[in-house]
Amino acid sequence: MHEHEIDTAARIEFRETVGGDDPARVGGLVAETGFFSDEERRIAIELVDERLAKGIDSGYEFIFAERAGELVGYTCHGRIAGTRSSHDLYWIAVHPRVQRRGLGRELIVRSERAIAAAGGTRIYVDTSSRPQYAPTRAFYERAGYTRAALLDDYYAPGDGLVIFQKVLR
| Exposure on the CB side of residue 66, measured as CA atoms within 13 A | 15
pLDDT of 87-142, one tens digit each?
A: 999 999 999 999 888 999 999 999 999 999 999 999 999 999 999 899 999 999 99
pLDDT for residue 1 is more than 60: no
> Is CATH 3.40.630.30 what the domain over 3-120 is classified as, yes or no?
yes
Amino acid at 47: L
Region 141-162: mean pLDDT is 97
Res 5: pLDDT: 45
Can you give the residue ranges of every domain in the chain?
Answer: 3-120, 126-169
pLDDT of 39-72, one tens digit each?
A: 999 999 999 999 999 999 999 999 999 999 999 9
Return the ∠ at Cα 113 (arms to 109 and 117), rounded to 5°. Answer: 170
Res 10: pLDDT: 65
* CA torsion through residues 78, 23, 28, 109, sign: negative
Please report which confidence band the pLDDT of residue 169 belongs to, taking 50, 70 and 90 as the band edges.
Answer: confident
Q: Look up the pTM and report it.
A: 0.90
Q: What is the CA radius of gyration of the chain?
A: 15
Measured CA to CA, the distance from residue 139 to residue 108 in angstroms comes to 10
Show Cβ contacts of residue 91 under 8 Å, excluding neighbours closer than 6 positions: 30, 44, 47, 74, 75, 76
Res 8: pLDDT: 47
Please report which confidence band the pLDDT of residue 143 belongs to, taking 50, 70 and 90 as the band edges.
Answer: very high
